[in-house]
Structure 1
Amino acid sequence: MPHLIVEYSRNLDGFPEARALEELNQAVTSSPELADEADLKSRFVLADSFQVGTVGAGRAFVHAQLRLLAGRTPEAKQDLSGRIADVLRRLTPRPPGVMVQLSVEIVDMDRPSYVKERL
């Protein structure tokens, strides 16, 4: 815990994944909601096959999901989603003629069923 998964559409060429991972991890781990920076696992997932709405071209997306153990206040979740959105807003490519949708979701994970170990 936590897990940060960022999905984005193939038509966002040049997405600076390495830089974004560094900045996203810094933004999230600087929150008082995270006790140990080593607990954050972040990754990008490229969507090769996608469609936004009913139009086949001229649209793209970036969607971030931060999965946390349940128990954070709504204000803490809003702060975390804002931190993530700020980074992605700055770093997401904006190809000419392409409408890009950005979304961030905070997901509560069930504490009793979650297993985590350091091996």
Structure 2
Amino acid sequence: MPHLTVEYSDNLPDYPEREALRALNAAVCASPEVLDEADVKTRFVRHASFEIGTAPAQRAFVHAQLRLLAGRSPEAKQDLAGRIAEVLRQHTPRPAGVLVQLSVEIVDMDRPSYVKERLA
């Protein structure tokens, strides 16, 4: 915990995943809600098969989901969502003629059912 998954459509060429990963982890770890930087796990998932709406328009998407153990205040969640959105705004390609939709979602994980271990 936390788990950050960023999904994006593959019509965003040359997405700088490596740079964005570093910047996302730095932004999330800078939050007072994150006590141990080694707990932050971030990954990108590119989708080759997607459809956005019904109009024949050039559209793309970037969606981030941050999963945290339940118990954060609405303000803390809003802060984390803002940190993530800012990094994605900076790193997301904007191809000419393509409308890119950006979204960030903070999801509570159930504490009693979550298992985490560090295996050495």
Please state which band the TM-score falls in when normalised by the shorter chain. Answer: over 0.9
Structure 2 CA distance, aligned partners of 1:63 and 1:56? 21
Structure 1 CA distance, aligned partners of 2:84 and 2:39? 17
Q: How many residues align?
A: 119
CA deviation map 1:11-42 (0-9, x unaligned): 00010000000000000001000010000110
Comparing 53-62 with 28-37, greater Cα deviation is found at: 53-62
Structure 2 CA distance, aligned partners of 1:47 and 1:57? 18
* Offset of residue 56 of structure 1: 4.7
Please tell me the residue identity of whatever aligns with 1:93.
P
* C-alpha RMSD of the superposition: 0.7
Structure 2 CA distance, aligned partners of 1:87 and 1:32? 18
Please tell me the residue identity of whatever aligns with 2:45.
V
Please tell me the residue identity of whatever aligns with 2:118.
R
Structure 1 CA distance, aligned partners of 2:31 and 2:16? 23
* Offset of residue 79 of structure 1: 0.2
Unaligned runs of 5+ in 2: none
Structure 1 CA distance, aligned partners of 2:106 and 2:45? 17
* Offset of residue 55 of structure 1: 2.9
Name the SS of the counterpart of 2:111 in structure 1: coil
Could you tell me which residue of structure 1 aligns to residue 17 of structure 2? 17
Matches within 5 A, 1:55-70: 55-70=55-70
Could you tell me which residue of structure 2 aligns to residue 47 of structure 1? 47
Structure 2 CA distance, aligned partners of 1:111 and 1:57? 42
Report whether the alignment pairs 1:109 with 2:109: yes
Unaligned runs of 5+ in 1: none
Please tell me the residue identity of whatever aligns with 2:28.
V
Please tell me the residue identity of whatever aligns with 2:10.
R
Name the SS of the counterpart of 1:112 in structure 2: helix
Q: 1:84 to 1:112 in 2, by over 3 A?
A: same
